[in-house]
């Protein structure tokens, strides 16, 4: 599980990009190809990505009131039902004995006892959907046999790591997709966070429940679900291409703001979160400033010509985006 910052659709300023070539000669070095881009202010929102599954909000198992035999089933899995609706007819053990004896005596006796000794109705206690039919007609059942299971409404149950649960609140919005339907996004709201956690592989997790605004017809119990929970509102940040963030010859995090006489001019910057191919700049440059970077993995040339160092720090998406921000934009552990 990881916390991820996603770029919002509305962009305040779009980074302008234009490819141009400059000659960069140093000893036997060949000319280098640079890309030019502009730092741009963009709206970002912070999300927590969680996984889970589709489950009933309330799952009710229907058992018979007595032992007997199922005579007729009147519903099937997937059917919508109402409270009080008859699900099945069954004979008690006494009725089974009488009817079986009457059947052996002849048709008239059987018809008489079948009408005189009425079957037991198995009825639904609530509105919902039949999600399990566990019997067939003619089956002998006991009072503990589960005949049907009913769900009143499908929700999504997710598990959230202890490290992320502090960011999750009731009322936060979430976007859910299913592994079976990855291109269909359904919006919902967190309505419950369970207090008791569980430990799996030395990781403590908590169950968080999401209620969909509208449950699609293709949702089925136990389907695997993925949810992105929005844990912060849009905030304006300054972004540059991730490849533009480099290491200066002095070992500082920097960007190249100009190329003069074939040599890059470095400007030290403080960086924030990173998402895909964009990196947040907290300080050092401003909106609209130009930055330059090599095509592909850029390699910085030391001033003394003794070698090269990678420009890009080894900054994984998880480590760069899972830190919370203080009011002044600095990271906190």
Q: What is the CATH number of the domain that holds 254?
A: 2.40.420.20
Q: How far apart are CA 188 and CA 185, in angstroms?
A: 10
Alpha carbons within 13 A on the beta-carbon side of 14: 5
Residue 81, in any domain of the structure: yes
Q: Tell whether 215 and 169 lie within a shared domain.
A: yes
Q: How far apart are CA 178 and CA 221, in angstroms?
A: 11
Q: Tell whether 63 and 142 lie within a shared domain.
A: yes
Residue 332, in any domain of the structure: no
Q: Tell whether 93 and 143 lie within a shared domain.
A: yes
Q: Tell whether 146 and 168 lie within a shared domain.
A: no
Q: How many CB atoms lie within 10 A of CB 254?
A: 25
- Residue 144: the pLDDT is 93
Residue 331, in any domain of the structure: no
Which domain does 272 fall in, by range? 2-46+235-325
- Residue 23: the pLDDT is 33
- Residue 136: the pLDDT is 96
**Cβ–Cβ under 8 Å, residues 329 and 323:** no
Closest C-alpha among 167, 177, 243 to residue 216: 177
Q: Tell whether 278 and 267 lie within a shared domain.
A: yes
- Residue 31: the pLDDT is 39
Q: Tell whether 141 and 65 lie within a shared domain.
A: yes
**Cβ–Cβ under 8 Å, residues 227 and 219:** no
Q: Tell whether 186 and 222 lie within a shared domain.
A: yes
Domain boundary among 132, 151, 170: 151
Q: Tell whether 124 and 190 lie within a shared domain.
A: no
Closest C-alpha among 154, 140, 124 to residue 60: 124
Q: How far apart are CA 167 and CA 165, in angstroms?
A: 5
- Residue 298: the pLDDT is 40
Grouped pLDDT means (10 residues each) for the chain, 333 residues: 43 34 36 78 83 94 94 94 96 92 82 90 93 94 95 94 92 95 95 93 94 93 94 81 90 91 90 81 92 63 35 35 34 36
**Cβ–Cβ under 8 Å, residues 273 and 210:** no
Per-residue exposure over 68-78, b if at least 16 CB sit within 10 Å of its own CB, e if not: bbbbebebeee
Which is it for the CA torsion 241, 269, 288, 328, positive or negative?
A: positive
Q: Tell whether 223 and 246 lie within a shared domain.
A: no
What is the total count of domains within the chain? 3
What is 64-110 written as a DSSP string?
-SSSEEEEEE---TT-EE-TT-EEEEEEEHHHHHHHHHHHHH-HHHH
Q: Tell whether 197 and 265 lie within a shared domain.
A: no
Residue 11, in any domain of the structure: yes
Q: Tell whether 128 and 183 lie within a shared domain.
A: no
Q: Tell whether 130 and 146 lie within a shared domain.
A: yes
**Cβ–Cβ under 8 Å, residues 4 and 39:** no
Residue 333, in any domain of the structure: no
Domain boundary among 207, 230, 253: 230
Cβ contacts of 144 within 8 Å, gap of 6 or more: 63
Helix (H, G, I), strand (E, B) or coil at 142: coil
Cβ contacts of 262 within 8 Å, gap of 6 or more: 22, 23, 24, 25, 26
Helix (H, G, I), strand (E, B) or coil at 332: strand
The CATH number of the domain holding residue 167 is: 2.40.30.170
Residue 206, in any domain of the structure: yes
The CATH number of the domain holding residue 137 is: 2.40.50.100
Domain boundary among 134, 151, 168: 151
Tokens of 232: 């912060």
Residue 185, in any domain of the structure: yes
Integer CA distances (angstroms), 69 to 110, 151, 269, in order: 16, 25, 78
Residue 330, in any domain of the structure: no
């Amino acid at each position: 599980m990881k916390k991820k910052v996603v770029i919002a659709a509305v962009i305040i300023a779009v980074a302008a990009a234009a490819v141009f070539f400059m000659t960069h000669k140093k000893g036997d070095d060949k000319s280098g190809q640079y890309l030019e881009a502009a730092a741009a202010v963009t709206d970002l929102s912070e999300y927590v990505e969680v996984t889970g599954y589709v489950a009933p909000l309330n799952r009710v198992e229907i058992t018979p009131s007595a032992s007997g035999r199922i005579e007729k089933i009147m519903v099937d899995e997937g059917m919508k039902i109402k409270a009080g609706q008859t699900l099945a007819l069954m004979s008690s053990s006494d009725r089974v004995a009488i009817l079986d004896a009457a059947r052996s005596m002849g048709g008239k006796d059987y018809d008489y006892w079948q009408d005189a000794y009425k079957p037991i109705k198995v009825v639904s206690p609530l509105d919902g959907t039949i999600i399990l039919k566990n019997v067939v007609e003619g089956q002998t059942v006991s009072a503990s046999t589960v005949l049907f299971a009913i769900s009143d409404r499908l929700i999504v149950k997710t598990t959230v790591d202890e490290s992320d649960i502090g960011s999750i609140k009731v009322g936060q919005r979430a976007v859910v997709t299913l592994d079976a339907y990855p291109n269909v996004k359904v919006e919902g709201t967190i309505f419950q966070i369970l207090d008791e956690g569980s430990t799996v592989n030395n990781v403590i997790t908590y169950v968080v429940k999401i209620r969909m605004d509208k449950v699609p017809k293709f949702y089925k119990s136990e389907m695997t679900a993925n949810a992105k929970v929005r844990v912060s509102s849009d905030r304006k940040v300054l972004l540059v291409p991730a490849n533009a963030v480099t290491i200066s010859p002095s070992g500082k995090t920097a960007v190249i703001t100009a190329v003069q006489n074939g040599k890059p001019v470095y400007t030290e910057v403080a960086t924030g979160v990173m998402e895909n191919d964009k990196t947040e700049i907290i300080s050092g440059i401003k909106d609209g400033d130009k930055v330059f970077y090599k095509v592909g993995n850029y390699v910085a040339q030391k001033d003394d010509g003794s070698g090269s160092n990678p420009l890009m720090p080894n900054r994984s998406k998880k480590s760069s985006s899972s830190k919370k921000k203080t009011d002044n934009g600095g990271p906190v552990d």
